Homo-oligomer: A and B are copies of this chain.
């Protein structure tokens, strides 16, 4: 058992050093590795498989919502990137430039896409002529590049994987509707599959996307009380349409500009899963998104019939669950520790005594609760246990989130809360950039969102004391 302990002890405890805990977990659970390319990470099988499950389920929701997938080039000519002024200002400082192709120096630099609004605009300009061509609701799954100075696995890296949806609509109303629809879809996905509750709201002008009229966001809290922006949905109005000349003839045969949106979620979600659900033994994966849902660990596997019965059980479970069996020569304790580090939602222990009594032991990863289950009803019982685990994980995440929101009505209270109460701080705001800047300067907290459910918890701005316009969620953020 000494060896088993060592494996677990190698993970720093969350309360001791959360940053180190995170680094330990992503490495020990074999989710990622560092690469020779500065700021770029390697998604190893355990990490990439989580992304595959996110893709599969989110993409199914997209398709039900009328989204069509496409694939656009990864390069953007500099002149195309420059067409929308705010957009290029926001992104130019952090893009990678291709200047040579084969043996030749390019006449025009190409940037590796940091996001693809400009390419979609260029396409829509060509394929949208009439109101009959609208709406266009396209999405692509791809990688994007943003030259980051400081990086952290899954949360911030120079290259990351994401989906980016880009739509064009006949009217402003339809565009706004799609913007909100996709934000709601994101929140529903995170709650249902990742067991992560979200606060939905609108970004302040300071925090909105470069070129957007309005940016909506879903935000949640990590175990250390810091906020994570988990998905955004932007309404561009007709700003890009005017910059790119995307016009259609309406039913009255008049030329109109289209109204556009874009929305994205990324591999950052893997970071959220880790930091919301993980514990001191490692990863804890929600059953619906876990690449492996059940790990069968044979006990005394050299004993006659044990491995054989374990494989019989695996074959049965394979039909309903993503099942693996650990038949390596490691000790059961070592296997338990590995299964826990990897966050596999259920472990099944099966030894000679169990087989004799026609039973097995199911252990929940999140609570470590043990269930002695008859082999005759293992499928039903396992389904129940996983369903309950998923539900409980969401309930605990909600409990954590809502118990880490505090209100502040004056600046002293606000600064104290940032310092001493990890989580979101609700406070009123006058709407002025100066106050946002001062708050960030004084406390490092930023405005996370103006929640859809607005309340008036005081009459004046928490910072300047002038009349308040909006309730804002503030917090330190990743």
A residues lining the B interface (CB < 8 Å): 33, 35-37, 40-45, 48-49, 51-52, 68-77, 80, 93-103, 109-110, 112, 119, 122-123, 126-127, 138, 142-143, 145, 147, 158-159, 161
Q: When the two chains form their complex, are residues A77 and B45 in contact, meaning their CB atoms are under 8 A apart?
A: no
> What distance in Å separates the Cβ of A51 from its nearest Cβ neighbour in chain B?
8
Within 8 Å by CB of A112, from B112, B127, B142, lies B112
26 examples of A-B residue contacts, CB within 8 angstroms = A33-B126, A33-B127, A36-B77, A36-B80, A36-B119, A40-B73, A40-B74, A41-B73, A42-B70, A43-B71, A43-B72, A48-B71, A49-B69, A51-B71, A52-B69, A74-B143, A75-B96, A75-B159, A93-B102, A93-B103, A94-B102, A95-B102, A96-B100, A96-B101, A97-B101, A101-B158
* Closest residue on chain B to residue A80 by CB atoms: B36
Chain B residues lying within 8 Å of A75, measured Cβ to Cβ, are: 37, 40, 96, 159
CA distance A159 to B145 in the complex (A): 16
Q: Given known contacts A42-B71, A75-B159, is B101 in contact with A98 (CB within 8 Å)?
A: no
Q: When the two chains form their complex, are residues A35 and B73 in contact, meaning their CB atoms are under 8 A apart?
A: yes
Q: When the two chains form their complex, are residues A45 and B138 in contact, meaning their CB atoms are under 8 A apart?
A: yes
Q: When the two chains form their complex, are residues B122 and A35 in contact, meaning their CB atoms are under 8 A apart?
A: yes
Q: When the two chains form their complex, are residues B123 and A73 in contact, meaning their CB atoms are under 8 A apart?
A: no
Chain B residues lying within 8 Å of A40, measured Cβ to Cβ, are: 73-75
> What distance in Å separates the Cβ of A254 from its nearest Cβ neighbour in chain B?
21
Q: When the two chains form their complex, are residues A98 and B70 in contact, meaning their CB atoms are under 8 A apart?
A: no
Chain B residues lying within 8 Å of A101, measured Cβ to Cβ, are: 95-97, 147, 158
Given contact pairs A43-B70, A95-B101, A98-B98, enumerate 17 new A-B contacts (beta carbons under 8 Å): A33-B127, A35-B119, A35-B123, A36-B80, A37-B75, A45-B70, A45-B138, A48-B71, A74-B112, A74-B143, A93-B102, A94-B102, A95-B102, A96-B100, A97-B98, A100-B109, A112-B112
CA distance A35 to B159 in the complex (A): 23
CA distance A41 to B93 in the complex (A): 27
* Closest residue on chain B to residue A94 by CB atoms: B102
Residue from A36, A73, A74, A158 whose CB has the most chain B CB atoms within 10 Å:
A73
Within 8 Å by CB of A77, from B37, B110, B122, B145, lies B37
CA distance A336 to B308 in the complex (A): 57
Chain B residues lying within 8 Å of A159, measured Cβ to Cβ, are: 73-75
CA distance A88 to B338 in the complex (A): 40
Chain B residues lying within 8 Å of A109, measured Cβ to Cβ, are: 100
* Closest residue on chain B to residue A101 by CB atoms: B147
CA distance A158 to B75 in the complex (A): 10
> What distance in Å separates the Cβ of A151 from its nearest Cβ neighbour in chain B?
12
Q: When the two chains form their complex, are residues A73 and B42 in contact, meaning their CB atoms are under 8 A apart?
A: yes
Q: When the two chains form their complex, are residues A161 and B36 in contact, meaning their CB atoms are under 8 A apart?
A: no
> What distance in Å separates the Cβ of A232 from its nearest Cβ neighbour in chain B?
22
Chain B residues lying within 8 Å of A35, measured Cβ to Cβ, are: 72-73, 119, 122-123
Chain B residues lying within 8 Å of A102, measured Cβ to Cβ, are: 93-96, 147
* Closest residue on chain B to residue A142 by CB atoms: B143
Chain B residues lying within 8 Å of A97, measured Cβ to Cβ, are: 98-101
> What distance in Å separates the Cβ of A117 from its nearest Cβ neighbour in chain B?
14
* Closest residue on chain B to residue A328 by CB atoms: B132
